[in-house]
Amino acid sequence: RPPRSTLFPYTTLFRSGLTADNVGAAIIQARPQAVDVSGGVENASGEKDPERMRQFTQAVREADKRKHEDAAV
């Protein structure tokens, strides 16, 4: 794989519509430098849900780890 700066020479930030269900694929496919979440971790009443936040964070960590493992190959 070419170095990251060759693939995406610009800073990439993903936001809007991210949830624990889709953030991993977004990270693996586009390799952004950052992701932003708001509504994707809220409950039906619009409050931040600790369990959804934990799931989102875990999905990001797993995808980031996989991204680095793939880059080492």
**pLDDT, tens digit (0-9, with 9 covering 90-100), for 52-66:** 999 999 999 999 888
pLDDT band at 25 (very low <50, low <70, confident <90, very high): very high
* CA dihedral over 2, 24, 19, 36, signed as positive or negative: negative
d(CA 5, CA 59): 24
**pLDDT, tens digit (0-9, with 9 covering 90-100), for 27-41:** 888 888 889 899 999
d(CA 56, CA 38): 11
